């Protein structure tokens, strides 16, 4: 089967094509194969405003999604008439942005007389490591660390997710971006903060590790952001000279919490496989620390390729294909669509998203 995927939840427009065998015996043995993808980032568009402007994001998606779709069809060396189903990000995300992808997907589906299926954005991130050359096997513990979400989950299979813990205020990605802004780093900032941290001392400032020793697996990073703000105010004119140390100390606090909570989840579930996905999953310090600590526990760690850590169409196409392949998602020719800007991952129905 040939599946076209469209992602438009926030500030990236992504389109991709994947293919898999519809034979039920293939599930778990041969995962869908990525044929082509195209991605446009809106970072330059939103940078002057210091954050994502929803109306501008929606308008840009409108301009980009059709050309990107044409590019993917051409790169895949397949024709539109060969596509068997179209999947799109239904939520969570910005309502206007989601409506663009959903509208295009359903309109194209109707014109081609093929079924469509809405996909959960976070499920796309969760299953993105299956795009890598070293995909995981079910079951596993997943650490999902995207811009607005930090969650630990027990994953038994496609559509079988149990949330073990999650952020109760700021997510890890928000902590990176907001701290970067306090240090004078332009939006989105998180990646630049990590690059700056390489030149600093991670023990220069004793920033708090919220909920590090709590009995649960929840996360809280709002207090860390406040501590960074307080320290920046204390430094005053000395802030510029201390930025690398502040960045390194901030990153160290975030990474320690993520790593120790992940290890606790592995111990609690008894699972020997960890999947890390989402934008923060590209952080080199996080990867290095997890690799060291998980090796001590004889746990395998799987990451998506760097290009699949941020929002992209490939992860949505893969998630949709895996749902269809596992018979836990049924595309339909009902082209009346709705989006779910707020859609908790644990509310996904295991039979159909």
> What pLDDT is recorded for position 27?
59
Domain identity same for 142 and 96 = no
Q: CA-CA distances (angstroms) from residue 265 to 101, 284, 291? A: 35, 21, 16
Distance of CA 53 to the CA centre of its chain: 20
* 352 in any annotated domain: no
Domain identity same for 32 and 64 = yes
For the chain, what is the domain count? 2
* 353 in any annotated domain: no
Enclosing domain of residue 97: 2-128+309-347
Q: Helix or strand or coil: residue 197?
A: helix
Number of residues assigned to the chain: 353
Mean pLDDT of successive 10-residue stretches along the chain, which has 353 residues: 97 97 66 96 94 97 98 97 98 97 98 98 96 93 90 95 94 93 91 95 96 94 94 95 97 97 97 95 96 96 94 97 92 94 81 51
pLDDT digits (tens, 9 = 90+) for 162-199: 999 999 999 999 999 999 999 999 888 999 999 999 99
Residue 264: give its domain's CATH number.
Answer: 3.30.420.40
* 173 in any annotated domain: yes
Q: Which of 10, 107, 104, 121 is nearest to 56 (CA)?
A: 10
CB 262 within 8 A of CB 165: no
Q: 171 Cβ partners below 8 Å, 6+ apart?
A: 145, 146, 147, 148, 149, 150, 219, 221
Domain identity same for 313 and 299 = no
> What pLDDT is recorded for position 346?
78
Domain identity same for 172 and 217 = yes
Which contiguous run of DSSP H or E holds residue 100? helix 95-112
Tokens 């902590």 found at: 175
Domain identity same for 173 and 294 = yes
> What pLDDT is recorded for position 353?
47
pTM of the entire predicted model: 0.94
């Amino acid at each position: 089967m040939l599946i076209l995927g469209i992602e438009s939840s926030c500030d990236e427009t992504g389109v991709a094509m994947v293919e898999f065998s519809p034979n039920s015996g293939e599930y778990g043995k041969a995962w869908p194969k990525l044929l082509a993808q195209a991605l446009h980032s809106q970072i330059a568009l939103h940078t002057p405003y210091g954050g994502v402007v929803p109306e501008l994001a929606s308008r840009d998606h409108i301009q980009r999604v059709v050309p990107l779709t044409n590019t993917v069809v051409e790169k895949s060396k397949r024709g539109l008439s060969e596509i068997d189903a179209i999947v799109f990000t239904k939520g969570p995300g910005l309502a206007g942005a989601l409506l663009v992808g959903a509208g295009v997907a359903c309109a194209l589906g109707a014109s081609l007389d093929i079924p469509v299926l809405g996909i959960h954005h976070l499920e796309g991130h969760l299953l993105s490591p299956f795009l890598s050359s070293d995909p995981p096997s079910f079951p596993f513990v997943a650490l999902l660390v995207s811009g607005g979400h930090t969650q630990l989950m027990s994953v038994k299979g496609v559509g079988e997710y149990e949330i073990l813990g999650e952020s109760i205020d700021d997510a890890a990605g928000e902590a990176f971006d907001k701290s970067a802004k306090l240090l004078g780093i332009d939006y989105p900032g998180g990646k630049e903060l990590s690059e700056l941290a390489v030149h600093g001392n991670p023990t220069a400032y004793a920033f708090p590790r919220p909920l590090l020793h709590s009995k649960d697996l929840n996360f809280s990073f709002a207090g860390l952001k406040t501590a960074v703000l307080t320290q920046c105010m204390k430094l005053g004119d000395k802030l510029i000279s201390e930025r690398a140390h502040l960045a390194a100390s901030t990153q160290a606090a975030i990474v320690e919490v993520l790593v120790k909570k992940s290890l606790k989840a592995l111990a609690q579930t008894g699972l020997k496989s960890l999947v890390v996905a989402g934008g923060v999953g590209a952080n080199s310090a996080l990867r290095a620390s997890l690799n060291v600590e998980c090796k001590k526990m004889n746990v395998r760690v799987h990451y998506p390729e760097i290009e699949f850590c941020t929002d992209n169409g490939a992860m949505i196409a893969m998630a949709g294909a895996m749902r269809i392949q596992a018979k836990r998602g049924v595309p339909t020719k009902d082209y009346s669509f709705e989006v779910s800007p707020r859609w908790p991952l644990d509310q996904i129905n295991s039979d159909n998203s």
